[in-house]
Structure 1
């Protein structure tokens, strides 16, 4: 039977053995998928359902167990370079990071990469590039879809516990970040990649065939993630990696362990070890090595505007010295001085509830957080009354206390920056303290939710990013709504990330939406400004708030491809000359 089958395929026993050998080689290099036929479609993405941790719930008990398990292992130790088998050298000089809510307790200690370690990480990534780039998209997609299920299942509570203790988030803030948003990024980025690959020419001339080859970038991508969202690191590596790129990932020091855990999940999901190189250590050292490498092809960055500007300058210097083969793409989402605008017709109690969440959740440490608000004079008394009432209900405390609405700021540096600004505002005669204006770092880095009323709309509190639980109010005359729109647009530190209007007057809504078109990359109507959900609202601003590539959309992934267009003709060219070139009578 076997011999007959071989003959039917034109094979001898010798050629069968040779074919088997070639197949084994193909399977080893990841091309076995070419032996099947068909055009594959990735599954439709969905938003991960949130757990709510109600008293007595199963998820609250599971989280309590995960927190106890993690606390028993503190301080966790993180190697300089991430891999499945990486360990921390007992003689290594380790950097300690403390728990924000209890700074006497060390949460993690991480080793720092040397210049040689960073160079090794880059070369390891580049060696992995060909096999990863050549892997069919359906296989790359499967890895990230598997990772999404690991995030939402096996590792969910471990991720939440690490985010709570390491970043000071309460259970709900950790849930919407480290579980739901991280899983959403993995699932939706797969869908966005499919969307890009599906973009092919729709018109071809007779006997012509055009197509687009969505190539990954030729070198490597450098991803730099911030402290405030565990999910962001997962997005900054999954977006370029899905498109066939290799990535060197530098997380914020405060998230060394959380990022290591995300990296571990990706490796467990099947990501080849070289594809994403996690590197901990000194940001300046790591960045210097990256920006001096010929294969540096892109930066994917989230952090401060000033740091991003500096990286632009550094890249420009590299261009001037002709260091790079490519023109590196610089994609960044940076700072914000985000606004709420209450119109005279607004439902003020509703606006207040949205504002409390937008300004004070996670101690205001979201790039989208509300830090300035404009209130009509006719509604100001009600506004301040409602704000006092709601803020009186808020508890500031440690993340393990489920009654804590908000918690500490991330570290001593942040605490000192915000408390210094509060001191200056408290002494300013133009600034009236409505609520808060106090702070305490005796146990953790706690700053009270603070609400100011400021008489001058050009005051520095409307321009300086504090990245903390401080909200400045300007009360405007009702008949100067349009003038207030101009103030909103021209102030805010030059940033343009998020903003909104609360109004029941559609004419006012339309005027604000049009006049503030460039004041915010994410604009909301009767909704708080910390409301972007992947697949529903992509996220990112312009002006000094970044390059507006829109995380949670195919726009960000497009930054990490270098499309090649191909054209094939099936007919023959019979003549060099065009009809217009012919002499009279020649035709």
Structure 2
């Protein structure tokens, strides 16, 4: 590891602007009291800000009995909510969209204080929530509209497909994107006519509760969205065990347990889990653009993003030139904690995350890896800050090679043939996100299609695919089950029902036909339907 006292100077600190807001200015007793009204519970729990480690707020803590009561209230409210016309439900999202953009500074402050992000990275959540609200506010009714299908006997069999809400969705939201992965995932569930009982992470609960309050202001009935808080191992199982569907975002290890509990009850689940995402630089890539994009892909939100890049595969013919650009840009990133735009990277969220980052770097260096940039914690900036770090010479025995770091650490690998890069990128159990950079767009898309990953971005790190909300987003392999966004992102919150109306003739011998004659008639009919290209 680099010694803090002797390491070369880089990653300067962005000073707080004069008169900048502080945690005390934002998280007032009045705000905490208002937001706490949205939690069912009588205990007390505390959240903190990563910027300083100090307490932000005391909030109610829920018990398993509180969770049961939350589901009871949600079920009562859900029936009335589902009875409303779908366009009326969708209109709530369109009003919410406008409120979010109008009052974004409020939630940006909360996101920064609870996660340690820079303001620009916090704004990614505002963008994502607004886009999802607009999309499902506009397209939700069409996704849910009854659909007609060709019946068993054309003309005689009239078939329609209907979508009904599942009931009450159990949602467990993570700490790293507390706005987007709480309300953003709940919006399609609401349009589909469901209620939601959500357990956000306690350390980022203020952001989720602010979102709930704003959605209620937009017209959502208060009891349709219930919130419980507490330790995951205490109330998490109680949430999962009562939901008619489970939405979970978190670690692969916890996700397996959630899936097992859902399977025992024969309820569906969508799980977005871990990733060890790869970026491939092809030999014809624009190296300046690729280096700049790799910085964003690896170090946005201090790498605490499920779809951020942790592995870089660079063609050997351009590796040195790319690394020169990539390292220089990484060393110029400014760290900062101000509630204002300007800093390039913020803090890690917890001591646990910092310890994991430190462990991966120290073990890799001890086994022969080289630190090209970063490599050290920055307690001079804040207790949980760490420099963006680039590692070279990483090999498979090192934990950082295969384990998800979930921090500002990226490893660089060289390859000789593109097929080799694809094989290496696919050599992990994960398959959440990937990135390909190349000058020939058609060739880059061909490479992208060969990657075992739920989303692949060409000449972008992660934002292009994630922001394209008409298209599904989710993971393969150990990165999860199900998808958010697009039709799959809302239909997963519904039960499909087929209604088939048989007219004139039954699906049985008729007109005096015996069994043999009926079987022959149906056989001829099937041949005719195929010849007429019926589907």
If the length of structure 1 is used for normalisation, what is the TM-score?
A: 0.78
1:119 is matched with 68
CA 1:424–1:276: 2 relative to 1, 3 Å: same
Cα separation, 1, equivalents of 2:371 and 2:82: 57
In the alignment, does 2:300 pair up with 1:361? Answer: yes
1:448 pairs, out of 387, 397, 401, with 387
Does the Cα contact within 8 Å between 2:241 and 2:261 map onto a contact in 1? no
CA 1:574–1:432: 2 relative to 1, 3 Å: closer
> With CA pairs under 8 Å and 6+ residues apart, which has the higher RCO, 1 or 2?
2
In the alignment, does 2:458 pair up with 1:525? Answer: yes
Q: Mark the runs of 5 or more structure 1 residues left unpaired by the alignment.
A: 1-59
How many Å apart are 1:382 and its aligned residue?
0.9
Superposed, 1:316-395 pairs within 5 Å as 316=263, 319=264, 324=265, 327-395=266-334
2:128 is matched with 181
Does the Cα contact within 8 Å between 2:334 and 2:345 map onto a contact in 1? yes
How many Å apart are 1:240 and its aligned residue?
1.5
Cα separation, 2, equivalents of 1:438 and 1:78: 40
- Report the 3-state secondary structure (helix = DSSP H, G, I; strand = E; otherwise coil) of the residue aligned with 2:205: helix
How many Å apart are 1:534 and its aligned residue?
4.0
CA 1:483–1:243: 2 relative to 1, 3 Å: same
1:271 pairs, out of 216, 220, 233, with 220
Superposed, 1:74-473 pairs within 5 Å as 76=32, 82=38, 93-103=43-53, 105-153=54-102, 155-177=103-125, 179-198=126-145, 200-203=147-150, 205-206=154-155, 209-217=158-166, 219-229=167-177, 230-293=179-242, 296-316=243-263, 319=264, 324=265, 327-400=266-339, 402-429=341-368, 431-441=369-379, 443-454=382-393, 456=395, 459-473=398-412
Cα separation, 1, equivalents of 2:325 and 2:230: 46
Does the Cα contact within 8 Å between 1:334 and 1:544 map onto a contact in 2? yes
1:70 pairs, out of 26, 41, 55, with 26
Q: CA RMSD in A?
A: 2.8
CA 1:510–1:164: 2 relative to 1, 3 Å: closer
Q: Mark the runs of 5 or more structure 2 residues left unpaired by the alignment.
A: 1-16, 518-535
CA 1:536–1:405: 2 relative to 1, 3 Å: farther
- Report the 3-state secondary structure (helix = DSSP H, G, I; strand = E; otherwise coil) of the residue aligned with 2:342: coil
1:485 pairs, out of 422, 427, 444, with 422
Q: Deviations over 1:104-137 (max 9, x none)?
A: x222222211222111101111111221121111
Cα separation, 2, equivalents of 1:253 and 1:156: 22
How many Å apart are 1:141 and its aligned residue?
1.2
Residue-pair matches, total:
496
2:526 is matched with none
Does the Cα contact within 8 Å between 2:364 and 2:399 map onto a contact in 1? no
CA 1:574–1:394: 2 relative to 1, 3 Å: closer
How many Å apart are 1:383 and its aligned residue?
1.6
Q: Deviations over 1:208-262 (max 9, x none)?
A: 5432221111x42101111121121012222212111121111111211111111
Does the Cα contact within 8 Å between 1:81 and 1:277 map onto a contact in 2? no
How many Å apart are 1:183 and its aligned residue?
1.8
How many Å apart are 1:505 and its aligned residue?
4.3
Does the Cα contact within 8 Å between 2:273 and 2:478 map onto a contact in 1? yes
Does the Cα contact within 8 Å between 1:243 and 1:557 map onto a contact in 2? yes
How many Å apart are 1:184 and its aligned residue?
1.7
CA 1:444–1:206: 2 relative to 1, 3 Å: same
In the alignment, does 2:435 pair up with 1:500? Answer: yes
2:514 is matched with 581
CA 1:397–1:291: 2 relative to 1, 3 Å: closer
- The range that moved more, 560-569 or 350-359, is 560-569
Cα separation, 2, equivalents of 1:433 and 1:348: 21
Cα separation, 2, equivalents of 1:268 and 1:147: 8
1:547 pairs, out of 481, 489, 493, with 481
How many Å apart are 1:303 and its aligned residue?
0.8
How many Å apart are 1:483 and its aligned residue?
2.2
How many Å apart are 1:75 and its aligned residue?
9.1
